[in-house]
Amino acid sequence: MTMTYLTLPHLGRRIAVGEGRTILQAALDAGIAYPHSCRSGRCGACKSRLLSGHVELARHSPFALSEEERAGGFILACRATPTQDVTVAWLDETYHAEPAVAQEAEVAAIDRMTHDILAIRLRLADRAGFRFAAGQYLSLSVPDAPPRNYSMASRPDEELVELHVRAVPCGRTSSRIHAALAQGDKVRIEGPAGSAYLREAHSGPIVALAGGSGLAPIKSIVETALHAGLDQPIHVYFGARAERDVYLVEHFRALERRFANLTFVPALSQAASDGWRSGFVSDALAADFRDLAGAKSPARPPWWTRPWRFSPHAGCRRTTSTPTCS
């Protein structure tokens, strides 16, 4: 078996990488909280600089790593398999992940949010032992179904951990949750994970875009930011097909009335009644963002939450894996 070694100079760590293992797998196996999200070359959260050595890069999205970046010595840790000893530095210096823990939890409440989305509130066996940042996700295991990832919709300081589960057609786990999960049931969680979380040190505007149950991490981020007293403009765009697909609209409108720095814009891609924006939410954001950009120096565009990259012309695109609800 060929063994190579991975050195992470900023951690002062050197670890073995088994044959066929990626840099991310080796780091996680060694208990290192390496920044990542999708683990499949789609989001760019694990983008790193290859300081020395050589890797083989498996297929990945050019959005996660462009040809120019690749030529400039950047790699995706989740797609990079060392072919010799390597030295690597991840890019996100603000990434200080809490270690993932596994524990039991009890279903404290289940609320129907839409025809296909449930909000599940969990009481963890050791809540103090589960520390996460707003925007992260966990792996949920329910009996007789494979584990699936769901973002926390609650704030990190709240006692109950809230998840939003959309019923995915043919999704074994989400179907099981929708059909059979009940208050008082025991489940298991493991986490947190994900590097797309709120950076409270950031002082610029925040622009967040969500669709469907993707509102969960945005809810956590926005409520955490407001709760922490962040007073920069916070814009939340929430897109869905029709009114029956949106939820928490009144909740966000109440927050809007309470916090002058929050703007909440729901948009429906199908016919919208009075008071709703119609069309794709990314178009609504692109239109509004041009206005915002005009009010600021175009050389210093507003900041947007890490899960999104935004071009006023190309619209918005999510760059992390949405925790898969199937």
Residues 220 to 259 in contact with ligand FES, rule: CB under 6 A: none
State yes or no: residue 39 binds ligand FES (CB under 6 A).
Answer: yes
Interface with ligand FES (CB under 6 A), residue from 4, 28, 42, 86: 42
CA pair distance 195, 137, nearest whole angstrom: 9
Site membership for ligand FES, residue 196 (CB under 6 A):
no
Tell me how far apart the alpha carbons of residues 267 and 69 are, in angstroms, rounded to a whole number: 35
Token output for 290: 């041009």
- Compute the least distance from the CB of residue 96 to ligand FES, in Å: 17
**What SS3 state is found at 62?**
coil
Quick check: helix, strand or coil at residue 256?
Answer: helix
What amino acid is encoded at 47 in this protein? Answer: K
Q: How far is the CB of 306 from ligand FES (least distance, A)?
A: 12
Only segment of 34-42, 213-221, 274-282, 285-293 that touches ligand FES (CB under 6 A)? 34-42
What minimum distance in Å lies between the beta carbon of 64 and ligand FES?
A: 4
49: left (phi over 0), alpha (psi -120 to 50) or beta: beta
**Contacts for 55 with CB less than 8 Å, ≥ 6 apart:** 23, 75, 80, 81, 82, 83, 86
Residue 39 Cβ vs ligand FES, minimum distance, rounded to whole Å? 5
C-alpha 219/C-alpha 135 separation (Å) is 8
Stretch (H or E) spanning 239: strand 234-240
Rounded Cα distance, 23 and 46, in Å = 10
Q: Which of 4, 8, 28, 41 binds ligand FES (CB under 6 A)?
A: 41
> Is 44 within 8 Å of 196 (Cβ atoms)?
no
By beta-carbon proximity to ligand FES, the closer residue of 36 and 155 is 36
Regarding 44 and contact with ligand FES (CB under 6 A), the answer is yes
Stretch of 37-45, 156-164, 167-175, 238-246 contacting ligand FES, by CB under 6 A: 37-45
Q: Which is nearer to ligand FES, 80 or 268 (CB)?
A: 80
135 binds ligand FES (CB under 6 A): no
By CB under 6 A, tell whether 152 contacts ligand FES: no
What is the rounded distance in angstroms from the CA atom of residue 221 to the CA atom of residue 197?
7
Query: Rounded distance, CA 253 to CA 259, Å?
Result: 10
CB of 197 to ligand FES, least distance (A): 14
Please tell me whether residue 38 binds ligand FES under the rule CB under 6 A.
yes
For the bound state, the minimum distance from the C-beta of residue 268 to ligand FES, rounded and expressed in Å, comes to: 30
Termini Cα distance of the chain: 36
Contacts (CB under 6 A) with ligand FES, residues 52-91: 64, 76, 78
Task: Give 94 or 270: the residue with its C-beta nearer to ligand FES.
Answer: 94
Applying CB under 6 A, the residues found at the interface with ligand FES are: 36-39, 41-46, 64, 76, 78
